């Protein structure tokens, strides 16, 4: 995280109700300057509703959103400060990439000269330079997604809001977009929503896990994985004969880790932050004269954290 | 700056929405052509039958039949006044004439009585005045009978005045209002069809607006700094251009088919611009209650047909007066802006009137534009532009 802990956006007891459905329920958190902040949760968790409230598309039913802690900030200023890349590709199908970037730039009050150079720069950065004159409707799915991102960035906003940025992208576009977001993260505050654990883990400095509109946890992915859930799993297959008894080594390992199980030639160890104990475990096994045939470490994932917090898998 | 950008973007989109544009601007010229063909096929012709039962008189040892002279006089009128579609036919039997009338092959049957010559002879030579009973037969509900009867009466009176060398007691002097005497039925339809070309904007204008909602680009615009006024002004400007193009195309086709432009062209353009704005304003109401172009094509049909057929654009229509404002009658149709635009155009193009003569229509048009816009913008903001 590159932030100086200066709150860019503060959500205070934010709620949104649609008729009888509470989409967001008492959300309170801070998003800091320069960080990549991820909203992680299953479909319908309230991620998109939250960012729509941040962007001003929906008014909150309760609570408030403060930008730079200033309650008096003007709506017009917020519009300039935020750029949103919605989940759906939103563009004018009958305009070329260049035409719509110029148009949106003008709608933000940019001069013709600056909007032209900015659109050229963005099209180059997102690999759409050759398609600048092509109609948006004629682009491939991945290109449309990238154009969507360009449109969010044309006015060079300080806060970039990305709703499911990698959804529907081919592997090539995914890498391009991911690298682009990372490069943007050097200078902008980025808020992204995702139901993809890997995406959140790889890209976000901090993650807010929300479910049924409620905030469950806000933390860095690393801290979440180290402190929440059942921990990492280490599987060790030993090179032994049927007559060998591995109960001695199993007992010895229980002094290092809490949960150690054995069956035939396999030892399974579960513990938080297990990666730091791997060398000690292997040394102990070798000291007892066993040869390790195979060793597998599965780290605790955000999915494990999510299951631990909600009692169900992300896509259930 | 933002308005110019919206105009540029809307113009590009309109030109690339090729089929909508073609349909919008070609519909009214097509209607003009169809109306021309229909009216040419049904050009009025008044068929007058004459049955001469006059027995004639013997005067100085030669026979005179004034009935035959009357038939010849009627024939000469037919030949001399070629601008009047009057056809005169002499028949021999009453039954023949009745059959032609029943089969609608003739409009009026005039029967010259047996004593026609005798009465006239006595009047001329002995100054004996006796009423001559001439029978007019025809379908009184048929407008063609009425016109034919009027012409027959005129021919008869002219003939009697001439033959008796008496001055007609009443000489009617007919003065046509504006150019009404010189124009035909097709010319009367053209002002309505010019406005029809603007009514056709309803679909293209609504689709231009609703596309922003359907493509969800309205979200991008809501999040930008553009105001609803700037957006609507930009879109409307392009639609006004489309409207004027449609009017000019319609006018070109009408002129090609024989319509003569009278009155000031600038006033025609002024009325076209105002009517276009009113249709765009009304389109905003349709856009507010729809969400997709498909919905526009379904829902929009109702007001489109209403404006086409009840405003007087497709054919003249007279409505019951509800009330009047400073002497200007307001009918049910008066709530539709094209009604006033058509009245104004008829005054200018047919009656050769000036701008001052159409001030009431202009004022009502402006009032309707304001009303449509207020309702449209309010509904559109409520449905599609609401933002924190």
Assess whether A293 and A216 both reside in one domain. no
Output the pLDDT for position B202. 93
CB-CB contact of A82 with A161 (8 Å): yes
Assess whether A164 and A255 both reside in one domain. no
Assess whether A242 and A93 both reside in one domain. no
What is the tens place of the pLDDT at every residue in A142-182? 889 889 999 999 999 999 999 888 887 788 888 888 888 88
Residue A255 domain flag: yes
What pTM did the predictor assign? 0.71
How far apart CA A243 and CA B355 sit, in angstroms, is 114
| Residue range B163-189: mean pLDDT, rounded | 74
Output the pLDDT for position B183. 67
Assess whether A82 and A171 both reside in one domain. yes
Assess whether A220 and A236 both reside in one domain. no
Is the pLDDT at B387 greater than 60? The verdict is no
| Residue range A254-282: mean pLDDT, rounded | 82
CATH number at residue A108: 3.40.50.300
What is the tens place of the pLDDT at every residue in B256-281? 998 888 888 999 999 999 999 999 99
Assess whether A254 and A185 both reside in one domain. no
Q: Which two tokens stand for residue A133?
A: 């004159």
**B9 confidence band (pLDDT: 50, 70, 90):** very high
Is the pLDDT at B222 greater than 80? The verdict is yes
**B178 confidence band (pLDDT: 50, 70, 90):** low
Assess whether A117 and A248 both reside in one domain. no
- Gyration radius of chain B's alpha carbons: 30
**A279 confidence band (pLDDT: 50, 70, 90):** confident
Q: Which two tokens stand for residue B322?
A: 């509800």
Output the pLDDT for position A101. 96
Of A174, A192, A226, which marks where a domain is finished? A226
Residue A306 domain flag: no
Assess whether A164 and A289 both reside in one domain. no
Output the pLDDT for position B294. 92
ipTM of the complex: 0.75
Assess whether A68 and A188 both reside in one domain. yes
> Which structural domain range is residue A99 located in?
7-226
CB-CB contact of A58 with A52 (8 Å): yes
Is the pLDDT at A77 greater than 90? The verdict is no
Nearest chain A residue to B216 by CA distance is A90
Assess whether A157 and A200 both reside in one domain. yes
Distance from CA of B21 to the nearest CA of A (A): 14
- Identify residues of A whose CB sits under 8 angstroms from chain B CBs: 53, 55-59, 75-76, 79-80, 82, 84, 86, 88, 90-95, 99, 102-104, 106-109, 135, 151, 155
How far apart CA A266 and CA A261 sit, in angstroms, is 8
Please count the structural domains in chain A: 2
Task: Decide if B12 and A99 are in contact by the 8 Å CB cutoff.
Answer: yes
B37 touches chain A (CB under 8 A): no
**Which residues of chain B neighbour A76 with C-beta distances below 8 Å?**
225
What is the tens place of the pLDDT at every residue in B301-327? 999 999 998 988 888 877 778 888 877
Is the pLDDT at A2 greater than 50? The verdict is no
Task: Decide if A56 and B225 are in contact by the 8 Å CB cutoff.
Answer: no
Is the pLDDT at B193 greater than 60? The verdict is yes
Terminal CA-CA length for chain B: 25
CB-CB contact of B285 with B256 (8 Å): no
Which residues neighbour B359 within 8 Å (Cβ) at sequence distance 6 or greater?
none
Assess whether A105 and A122 both reside in one domain. yes
CATH number at residue A278: 3.30.70.980
The burial of A52, by beta-carbon neighbours within 10 Å (0-12 exposed, 13-18 middle, 19 or more buried), is given as buried
Q: What domains does chain B contain, in order, with CATH numbers?
A: 2-39+180-384 (no CATH), 44-164 (3.40.1710.10)
Which residues neighbour B380 within 8 Å (Cβ) at sequence distance 6 or greater?
B209, B228, B284, B287, B288
Is the pLDDT at A314 greater than 60? The verdict is no
**Which of B25-39, B159-173, B362-376 is least confident?**
B159-173
Residue A107 domain flag: yes
Number of A/B CB contacts below 8 angstroms equals 69
Considering Cα of B212, then B213, then B219, then B224, what sign does the dihedral take? positive
Is the pLDDT at A70 greater than 50? The verdict is yes
Assess whether A202 and A293 both reside in one domain. no
**B388 confidence band (pLDDT: 50, 70, 90):** very low
Output the pLDDT for position B83. 63
């Amino acid at each position: 995280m590159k932030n100086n802990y200066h709150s860019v956006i503060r959500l205070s007891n934010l709620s949104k109700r649609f008729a009888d459905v509470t989409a967001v329920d008492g959300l309170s958190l801070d998003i800091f300057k320069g960080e990549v902040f991820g909203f992680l949760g299953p479909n319908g968790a309230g991620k998109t509703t939250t960012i729509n409230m941040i962007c001003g598309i929906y008014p909150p039913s309760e609570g408030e959103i403060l930008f730079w802690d200033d309650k008096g900030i003007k709506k017009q200023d917020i519009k300039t400060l935020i750029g949103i890349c919605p989940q759906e590709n939103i563009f004018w199908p009958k305009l070329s990439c260049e035409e719509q970037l110029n148009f949106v730039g003008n709608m933000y009050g940019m001069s013709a000269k600056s909007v032209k150079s900015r659109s050229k720069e963005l099209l180059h950065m997102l690999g759409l330079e050759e398609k600048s004159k092509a109609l948006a409707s004629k682009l491939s799915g991945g290109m449309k997604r990238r154009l969507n991102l360009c449109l969010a960035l044309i006015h060079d906003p300080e806060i970039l809001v990305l709703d499911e940025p990698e959804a529907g992208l081919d592997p090539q576009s995914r890498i391009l977009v991911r690298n682009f977001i990372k490069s943007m993260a050097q200078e902008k505050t980025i808020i992204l929503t995702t139901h993809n654990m890997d995406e959140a883990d790889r890209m976000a400095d901090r993650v807010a896990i929300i479910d049924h509109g409620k905030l469950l946890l806000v933390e860095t992915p690393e801290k979440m994985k180290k402190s929440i859930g059942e921990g990492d799993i280490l599987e060790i297959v030993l090179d032994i004969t049927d007559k060998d008894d591995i109960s001695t080594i199993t007992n010895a390992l229980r002094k290092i880790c809490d949960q150690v199980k054995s069956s035939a030639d396999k030892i399974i160890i579960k513990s938080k932050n297990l990666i730091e104990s791997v060398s000690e475990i292997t040394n102990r096994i070798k000291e007892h004269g066993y040869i390790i045939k195979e060793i597998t470490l599965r780290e605790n994932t955000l999915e494990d954290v999510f299951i631990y917090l909600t009692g169900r898998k992300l896509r259930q | 700056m933002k308005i110019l950008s919206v105009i540029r973007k809307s113009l590009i989109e309109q030109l690339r929405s090729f089929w909508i544009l073609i349909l919008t601007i070609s519909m009214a010229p097509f209607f003009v052509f169809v109306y021309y063909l229909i009216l040419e096929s049904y050009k009025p012709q008044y068929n007058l039958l004459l049955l001469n039962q006059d027995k004639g008189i013997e005067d100085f040892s030669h026979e005179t039949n004034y009935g035959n002279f009357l038939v010849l006089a009627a024939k000469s009128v037919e030949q001399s006044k070629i601008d009047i579609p009057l056809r005169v036919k002499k028949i021999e039997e009453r039954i023949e004439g009745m059959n032609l009338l029943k089969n609608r092959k003739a409009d009026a049957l005039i029967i010259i009585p047996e004593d026609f010559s005798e009465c006239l002879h006595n009047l001329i030579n002995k100054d004996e005045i006796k009423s001559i009973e001439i029978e007019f037969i025809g379908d009184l509900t048929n407008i063609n009978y009425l016109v034919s009867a009027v012409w027959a009466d005129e021919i008869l009176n002219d003939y009697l005045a001439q033959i008796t060398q008496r001055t007609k007691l009443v000489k009617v002097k007919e003065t046509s209002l504006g150019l009404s005497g010189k124009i035909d039925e097709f010319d009367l339809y053209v002002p309505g069809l010019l406005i029809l070309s603007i009514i056709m904007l309803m679909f293209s204008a609504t689709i231009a607006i609703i596309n922003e909602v359907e493509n969800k680009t309205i979200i991008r615009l809501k999040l930008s700094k553009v105001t609803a006024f700037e957006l609507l002004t930009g879109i409307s400007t392009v639609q006004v251009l489309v409207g004027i193009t449609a009017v000019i195309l319609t006018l070109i086709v009408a002129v090609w088919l024989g319509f003569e432009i009278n009155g000031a062209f600038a006033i025609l353009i002024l009325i076209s611009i105002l009517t276009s704005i009113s249709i765009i304003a009304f389109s905003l109401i349709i856009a507010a209650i729809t969400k997709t172009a498909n919905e526009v094509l379904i829902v929009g049909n109702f007001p489109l047909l209403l404006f086409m057929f009840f405003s007087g654009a497709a054919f003249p229509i007279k409505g019951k007066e509800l009330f009047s404002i400073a002497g200007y009658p307001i009918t049910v149709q008066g709530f539709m802006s094209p009604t006033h635009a058509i009245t104004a155009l008829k005054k200018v193009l047919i009656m050769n009137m000036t701008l001052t003569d159409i001030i009431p229509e202009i004022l009502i048009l402006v009032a309707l534009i304001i009303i449509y816009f207020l309702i449209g913008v309010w509904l559109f903001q409520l449905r599609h532009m609401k933002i924190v």
